[in-house]
Structure 1
Amino acid sequence: MKKENKWKMLLSPVIFDRYSKSDIFVGLGITTFAMAGIFITSLFFGLIEITNVGFDARMIGYYTGLIFLSAGYEELIFRCILLTILIKVLKKSWIALLITSIYFGYVHLDNDYATVLSAVSNGIGGIMYGLAFLFTRKIWLPWALHFAWNYLQAPILGFPVSGFEVQGIISLKLLDHSWLSGGFYGPEGGIVGISFRFVVIGLVVFWIKKSRGKVKKKIIEQDYIPA
């Protein structure tokens, strides 16, 4: 393999293609919609109560940068590097996706207030982001999904995010600490959050079909080569 072709293959997941810009905007929209659904559902079932609304520009700026970088870092490590390596080694995309998703859930078990259910939820999140990567072969859709999920969840809507308390524009009182809401871990640790992860997966598949014409069969093929 020529040196320039090798570098092109390695850098392919972070190089824009004709879909990347649309993938970013759609990804942001999908998880914004999902997190808004979690918020409305939680209010409707009395799982949370709004106690205050206030805007701190400095705090929002800080969390915007932090979540932008952390989401990008996780997608680079778990999807662009780990998932791609496992596909090349195991020759099966779906097995590699399952392994990386289980590991993604496992590493979150060290977070405060983590439970087996929250680890399962984070594992489904790994599938959510992993499918977005496999369908597009780029970092941009999973990064956008990941960023908006965490950003709406914490600094905007005021939920805890993966066990971390964040000051949001909306201040919430958590009225339920059960398996339903996720409690202090955040909605991604409960059944409501898990339900909307499946909504996200469905919308990702819908977007791929709409933008590419079909869901790529390479998701279950062994010859995964970044385009």
Structure 2
Amino acid sequence: MKAVQIWKALAIPFTLDHYFKKDILAGLTITSLAMIGIWVVSLFFGLIEITGVDFKLKSFAYYTGITLLSAGYEELVFRCILLTILIKLFQKPWIAILITSIYFGYVHFDNDHATILSAFSNGLGGVMYGLAFVYTRKIWFPWALHFAWNYIQAPILGFPVSGFEVDGIFKLNLLDHTWLSGGLYGPEGGIIGITFRFIVIVLIVLWAKNSRVEIQKSINSIKTTQG
């Protein structure tokens, strides 16, 4: 594999195309709704209780920046670099997604309160973002998905995120610390969170396929009209 080809492949994910704005909006929407769904289900089954609501602008701004940067950094390393190289190496995206997802789950295993189940869930997160990247070959869709998942989860709804406690707007009392809720690791470490990850995967595939068909039709229609 030539070095020039590698550098070209690594630069492509950061270019803007006809889809990037809609991909960002779709990514933010999909995982925001998924995390809100997890929150509602957790409330319904008595796994959490709301003990207060408190908005602190300084804290909110801090976690907004941290979440944007951390999601961007992980997507840069795991998808834009590692996944891109493995796709070039194996010529089979599914193998590249599998390898990076296993590794993504593994690196989170050192987090506080991590379990085998949480590592599996983080691996599914790798599948989510990996599919979003493979379908679009851009950072925007997986970055938006990743950011909104973590942002709604912790700074907004008050869940722990991957074992880290965050000062969220909603203050929660975690009433369940089992495999069902994920406990102190956060909902991504439990069965409810894993279930929603599968839903997100389906929505990612549907969006990536259908959005490109509709947008391409629109572009072709414009070209035809102008011609």
Mean Cα displacement is larger for which, 197-206 or 162-171? Answer: 197-206
Runs of 5+ unmatched residues, structure 2: 215-227
Q: Residue 114 of structure 2: SS of its match in structure 1?
A: coil
Number of residue pairs matched?
A: 214
Q: 1:97 to 1:6 in 2, by over 3 A?
A: closer
Specify the alignment match of 2:64 in structure 1: 64
Larger radius of gyration: 2
Aligned-partner residue type, residue 55 of structure 2: F
Return the alpha-carbon distance in structure 1 between the equivalents of residues 4 and 101 of structure 2. Answer: 32
Specify the alignment match of 1:100 in structure 2: 100
Q: CA RMSD in A?
A: 1.8
Specify the alignment match of 1:25 in structure 2: 25
**Deviation at residue 210 of structure 1 after TM alignment:** 1.7
**Deviation at residue 206 of structure 1 after TM alignment:** 1.3
Structure 1 segments, 4+ long, off by >6 Å, are 1-6
TM-score of the aligned structures, taking structure 2 as reference length: 0.91
**Deviation at residue 10 of structure 1 after TM alignment:** 2.9
Runs of 5+ unmatched residues, structure 1: 215-227
Structure that is richer in helix per residue: 2
Return the alpha-carbon distance in structure 1 between the equivalents of residues 35 and 166 of structure 2. Answer: 16
Specify the alignment match of 1:125 in structure 2: 125
Encode CA deviations 1:67-110: one digit per residue, 9 max, x unaligned.
00000000000000001111111221111110000000000000
Aligned-partner residue type, residue 173 of structure 1: N
User: What does 1:5-84 correspond to in 2, within 5 Å?
Assistant: 8-84=8-84
Specify the alignment match of 1:202 in structure 2: 202
Return the alpha-carbon distance in structure 1 between the equivalents of residues 41 and 125 of structure 2. Answer: 19
**Deviation at residue 2 of structure 1 after TM alignment:** 11
**Deviation at residue 209 of structure 1 after TM alignment:** 2.2
Encode CA deviations 1:163-212: one digit per residue, 9 max, x unaligned.
00001000000000000000000000000000000111111111112211
Q: 1:46 to 1:3 in 2, by over 3 A?
A: closer
Percent identity between matched residues is 70
Q: Residue 69 of structure 2: SS of its match in structure 1?
A: helix
Specify the alignment match of 1:154 in structure 2: 154
